[in-house]
Amino acid sequence: MMGMSEICRRAKTGPFMKADDFDLDVLYANARQLSEKYKINYDPQNPVPSDDDLADRTYKAAVDFVVAVGVYCPDTGRIIKFTREEVLGAVANSRGSCTMGEGKDRFLWTPRRPDSDLKPWFHVGTGIFVTDERIAFNLTKAYAQIEQANSVSVSALEKIDGQKSESGTPTEILAAIHSIKIARSALSHAGRPGLAIGNCISAAGTSLATIAASAPQFGLRPSDGWLVGAHAEMKFTMDMLNKATYLSCWGANIGNESGPLVGGYGGGPAEVAIINVAYRLIGLLVLNCDYHLTFPVHITRSCSTPRDVLWTVAVSSQAISRNTRELVWSLGYIAAGPMTKQFFYESAAYIATAISSGLSTQTCHPARAIRNDYITPMEMLGSVELTQSCVGLKRAEANELVKELLRRYEDKIDDAPKGKKYQECYDVNTGRPIQEYADLYGEVKEELHALGFRRLV
């Protein structure tokens, strides 16, 4: 295991390069070269391939990529380099399991493989901003009441005491602390006080606010999980390294977060499949992480459900699950919003792709996760039930299901319905859905069952 002091030393002494040169001459050039060397070719006709050799070639390309590219530190303008022996050693020595939560809600997370009937980890919820503390409370309580939930994400508060939460100011710290207190209260009300919060801390963008709000007196425990994010592509700031250092010294669970951009500096589907696997290796090397959150998205369409992104998710997920013991939530950003059938069509396609390819999933995020209050428990329940339905699904079966689902929504992604916000489809006082939404979900469950998904309970 490489210590953070060594990472910092390399961030100060590694090869110097301008960020634009790193993006084009190092990152993209190597991704392109390796996709050609290993014959990794995007196949739009099969969004969920069943090609084990393709998955294994993608993994080998990712190892080569990490050795050739490393990680860029924007604060120093230098590249943190790794040897092949260090990369392979990190994979070989990975823990391969993670325990989260306390008491009766303490769960052990173990890896899966493609076509597996092993139950995945159910991470329920989102960090989408909400405008009302009652909504934040209702959402977390509802997530915990989904019995399959192994961990939850909690919402970020848009405002604190009427002021907008601003990064790097006391309002950010206050919003982060208050969001955790609301979440802990909601979990207790749901009868699951030990359930882990796995997206610590959605209201804290800076390491300063994260470290301040992580003090145990505010309700967080090492058995929760903190996300430490890389910047696209392959960049770690000192601020993120500060966060990881604190968490490592505390012995807390660290989640390696990344959202590679299909069509961005990394390249197209083939190149980004390599990069998505490489992020898992980088998480081990830089963060000594316990788990991973990955959410590939299309750079201009801002969601995870176009055909080329699904292929990227499938190939990279299979490469990860076949060749490592890493624990990964694969998160789908959905174009359509709450209370629309298209949300569930897109979610079904994403979940079938990720689960059949050997990963676990986080519940899908509606309305591209960019609209405040556009989140309800119904989308989360739907994601959980779809995940259950896909356990044991073979990749070949998933491929046919996904192709049929794409026929239903593919031409509607760019003009996807935004849906309705929480206040329009749930009662804020009772936390219950309106009948119209309950009926819509019942209808779409029957449609998906008729399509070939196991009946959703």
Q: What is the pLDDT of residues 433-456, one digit of tens each?
A: 999 999 999 999 999 999 999 876
- Gap between the terminal Cα atoms of the chain: 44
Residues 338, 363, 160: CA angle, nearest 5 degrees? 70
Where residue 156 falls among pLDDT bands split at 50, 70, 90?
A: very high
Q: Distance (Å, rounded) from C-alpha 164 to C-alpha 174? A: 11
pLDDT digits (tens, 9 = 90+) for 249-270: 999 999 999 999 999 999 999 9
Cβ contact 232:259 at 8 Å:
yes
Is the pLDDT at 154 greater than 90? The verdict is yes
Phi-psi label, residue 151: left if phi above 0, alpha if psi -120 to 50, beta otherwise:
beta
Q: Distance (Å, rounded) from C-alpha 350 to C-alpha 322? A: 19
User: Across all residues in the chain, what is the average pLDDT?
Assistant: 97
pLDDT digits (tens, 9 = 90+) for 323-369: 999 999 999 999 999 999 999 999 999 999 999 999 999 999 999 99
Residues of the chain with pLDDT > 70, as a percent, come to 100
Cβ contact 122:384 at 8 Å:
yes
Contacts of 82 (CB under 8 A, 6+ apart): 66, 67, 70, 285
Residues 88, 98, 394: CA angle, nearest 5 degrees? 75
CA contacts within 13 A on the Cβ side of 265: 15
Where residue 67 falls among pLDDT bands split at 50, 70, 90?
A: very high
Where residue 2 falls among pLDDT bands split at 50, 70, 90?
A: confident
**Residue 332's closest CA among 371, 305, 360, 314?**
305
Residue 176 corresponds to which amino acid? A
Token readout for 416 is 């996807």
Contacts of 3 (CB under 8 A, 6+ apart): none
Q: Distance (Å, rounded) from C-alpha 289 to C-alpha 94? A: 9
Give the per-residue pLDDT at 65: 99
Is the pLDDT at 245 greater than 90? The verdict is yes
Taking the domains of the chain in order of start, what are their residue ranges? 4-92, 98-451
Cβ contact 214:201 at 8 Å:
yes
Cβ contact 56:111 at 8 Å:
no
User: DSSP readout, 77-93?
Assistant: TEEE---HHHHHHHHHT
pLDDT digits (tens, 9 = 90+) for 181-193: 999 999 999 999 9
pLDDT digits (tens, 9 = 90+) for 21-44: 999 999 999 999 999 999 999 999
**Residue 457's closest CA among 144, 147, 191?**
147
CA distances from 277 to 73, 225, 452 (A): 20, 21, 30
Give the per-residue pLDDT at 133: 97
Is the pLDDT at 172 greater than 60? The verdict is yes
Residue 386 corresponds to which amino acid? L
10 Å Cβ neighbour count for 117?
A: 8
Burial annotation 73-95 (CB, 10 A radius, 16+ → b, else e): beebbbbbbbeeeebebbbeebe
The DSSP 8-state label assigned to residue 165 in this structure reads P
Give the per-residue pLDDT at 456: 65
Where residue 77 falls among pLDDT bands split at 50, 70, 90?
A: very high
Q: Distance (Å, rounded) from C-alpha 436 to C-alpha 275? A: 42
User: DSSP readout, 198-259?
Assistant: -SB-TT--SHHHHHHHTSGGGT--TTSEEEEEPBTTTB--HHHHHHHHHHHHHT-EEEEEE-
CA distances from 410 to 100, 334, 342, 346, 446 (A): 37, 12, 10, 9, 21
Give the per-residue pLDDT at 217: 97
Token readout for 168 is 């790097």
Q: Distance (Å, rounded) from C-alpha 328 to C-alpha 255? A: 9
Phi, psi of 72 (to 5 degrees): -95, 135
CA contacts within 13 A on the Cβ side of 131: 7
Give the per-residue pLDDT at 457: 57
107: enclosing H helix or E strand: strand 107-109
pLDDT digits (tens, 9 = 90+) for 211-242: 999 999 999 999 999 999 999 999 999 999 99
CATH code given to domain 98-451: 3.20.20.460
